[in-house]
Chains A and B, each alone.
Chain A
Amino acid sequence: MTQAVQPAPAPAPPEPGHAQAGRRSVGKRFFGRPEVGSLMGAVAVFVMFFVIAEPFRHAASLSTVLYASSTIGIVTVGVALLMIGGEFDLSAGVAVTTSALTAAMFAFEFTTNVWVGIVVALALSLGIGMFNGYVLIRTRLPSFLVMLSTFLMLQGLNLAVTKLVSGGVATDSIADMDGFDSARAVFASALTIGAVSVKVTVFWWLAFVAIATWVLLRTKVGNWIFAVGGQADSARAVGVPVKRTKIGLFMTVGFTAWFAGMHKLFAFNTVQSGEGVGQELIFIAAAVIGGCLLTGGYGSAVGAAIGAFIFGMTGQGIVYAGWNPDWFMFFIGATLLAATLLNLWVRNRAARR
């Protein structure tokens, strides 16, 4: 049979000078990375403040900037991974407060070692992440709606439960309780490097970024995260566990929110129940500036870290520069816009090469 069928394709002759599948040139690969645009933006912002603000040049100032960046950056790691996986979490800001409130109130009300409260808060944070992921997957509603609901519910719960349990709207100080000192050493201490004191959150932040980068680029799970964000149906069709990956990502956000919450609690001893509203947008913005696509499937943890660094630098740099404080919000917005435009420009240039 099969008269009309063409013979099986003969391998095409190898093109001259192209025997091995090459990699693009180093330069092209560098400019093709998602974080390059934000890196340029960060360098530009850094140079700007370095030139105009004398106090910005001191090592101690860099430490302050890094600290401000790290408290944003830790949650941004989780938020960025989730965004690469194609979903949003609007509840991350208040989830930080939820976690801190839980740890503080549990330890205080039951007069336990604070570590017990910490573990309970971790369980709750992971549980909230799992709930978010599960509801999203079961209902197949848009993430925006589900997350907005969770955001509002958590905001309400933070207030209502705190009021119910402690009778006030802030938790009682747990500074004099057992385990506080060891917990503080883990979550909110400072290390002295040379003459400069650096907050421990900076190191945790860098560690989380390193782990997230490794997971993204060098593990199966990382491959799956890109795939479920880029084209969930294709991923499912080749056997990627889409649901488990997404739920895992929401739980990762829960973990980072927990960590940030613990830092807040042990740095300030008490937590205000109304805090954290609006922070979720900062996390998302940092991830986007860092090159994560809002539509998913593309981005990097390093980029998200650079995005958080731009936020930290801008917020503190304006103070170091001594600009008129009435314009503070405007300057933050303008710097971010400039960084984002530069990012876009670099990416377009890279695409055209």
Chain B
Amino acid sequence: MTNADDRVPVVELEGIGKHYGNIRALHDVSLAVHEARVTCILGDNGAGKSTLIKIVSGLHGYDDGTYRVDGEPVRFASPRDALDRGIATVYQDLAVVPLMPVWRNFFLGSERTTGHWPLRRLDVRGMRATADAELRKMGIHLPDIDQPIGTLSGGQRQCVAIARAIYFGARVLILDEPTAALGVKQSGVVLKYVAAAREAGLGVIFITHNPHHAFLVGDHFAVLKHGEVELDAARDALTLDELTLHMAGGAELETLKHELERVDSPGLGALPQPSGTA
């Protein structure tokens, strides 16, 4: 463990709140993301995870609280603004444009050009070579860099998106449920790249509802529930069982267990007691 927590966090949320009409999506959410650390955000469907990342990534604004990048308060008007500050997001389902070639996806929105107007054109050769080299660095070998990205497996697509974010100088990488739609093996591949991104010095925000995946790579864990932070703990203050229990609903699960015991379901052992919550 380094003294990362003493330095200024790259991304810091303090008391963030967000309403959609009179529906409260987030309330008093605080979070700090440091360089070379993986911060996992867990929560059930509808807990406010996606609202949170949309705010961090600049897609949505926020109503209360403060959002700081490098200690400086910010309000992003668009994802472009967030990108310019080094905050890149890899979405679960909309990470790429399926029908476009891999290299075009890699450089989408940040295309390289050559020549002068009116003959300014895409540097196709350079972009193809770079995309190929960068993917190789991440251990992805494609038979054809021109193939539509939709023909890659789900895990490979996530990896291309991650490689893209790293290449374009992301300092903070937001991963939205990168393993949700993947099988065991594919998930493993993606988790390796999450670790690789951390080794490269990036701050990673890893959104998931799978505590096992989170615990494999996470340094810090936050559990959201009904738009509020229910648990905020460093890795060394937590066990996988505790995290699983929080994720699964904690007290509610205990009640459910009692109800099930009354109908004599066999084979239910004692659930571990939650402890060490922040």
Contact = CB atoms under 8 A, between A and B. Distances in A.
Query: Are chains A and B touching directly in their complex (CB below 8 angstroms)?
Result: yes
B185 interface: no
Contact of B146 (A2, A24, A238): A24
A11 B144 contact: no
Given A21-B145, A223-B122, A1 B97 contact: no
B31 interface: no
Interface in B75-124: 78-80, 83, 89, 91, 94-100, 104, 107-111, 113, 120-122, 124
Given A230-B99, A233-B94, A220 B146 contact: no
A9 interface: yes
Given A220-B111, A227-B100, A240-B109, A14 B59 contact: no
A195 interface: no
B192 A234 contact: no
Contact of B94 (A14, A220, A234): A234
Interface centre among A12, A20, A223, A237 (most CB of B within 10 A): A237
Contacts of A227: 97, 100, 108-109
A242 to B, nearest CB: 10
B111 A223 contact: yes
A221 to B, nearest CB: 9
Interface residues of A, number: 43
Contact of B142 (A5, A9, A21, A233): A21
A237 B59 contact: yes
Given A4-B216, A18-B143, A230 B100 contact: yes
Interface string B53-90: 00001010000000000000000001110010000010
Contacts of A15: 141
B99 A234 contact: no
A224 to B, nearest CB: 8
A24 to B, nearest CB: 5
Interface stretch (B43-51, B131-139, B246-254): B131-139
Given A218-B122, A234-B97, A298-B99, A239 B144 contact: no
Contacts of A1: 1, 219, 235-236
A23 B97 contact: no
B205 to A, nearest CB: 15
A10 interface: yes
The interface size bin for chain B is 35 or more
Contacts of A18: 141, 143
Interface stretch (B6-14, B20-28, B193-201, B259-267): B193-201
A8 B110 CA distance: 27
Nearest to A296: B99
A139 interface: no
B165 to A, nearest CB: 9
A49 interface: no
Interface string A1-34: 1101111111110110010111110000100000
B45 to A, nearest CB: 19
B217 interface: yes
B139 A12 contact: yes
A21 B98 contact: no
B154 to A, nearest CB: 15
A293 B99 CA distance: 11
A24 B94 contact: no
Contact of B91 (A7, A220, A226, A237): A237
Nearest to B145: A21
Contact of B89 (A24, A29, A237): A237
Contacts of B109: 224, 227, 235, 238-240
Nearest to B90: A237
A7 B95 CA distance: 25
A219 interface: yes
B91 to A, nearest CB: 6
B147 interface: yes
A236 interface: yes
Given A2-B219, A8-B199, A23-B144, A238 B100 contact: no
Contact of A29 (B146, B193, B235): B146
Interface centre among B89, B98, B128 (most CB of A within 10 A): B98
20 contacts: A5-B216, A6-B191, A8-B199, A9-B139, A9-B192, A21-B142, A22-B144, A24-B143, A217-B122, A220-B111, A220-B113, A231-B94, A231-B96, A233-B94, A234-B91, A236-B79, A237-B94, A238-B110, A239-B78, A240-B109
- Which 7 A-B residue pairs are closest in the complex by CB-CB distance? A238-B109, A239-B109, A230-B97, A21-B132, A239-B80, A234-B94, A231-B97
Interface of A: 1-2, 4-12, 14-15, 18, 20-24, 29, 214, 217-220, 222-224, 226-227, 230-231, 233-240, 293, 297-298
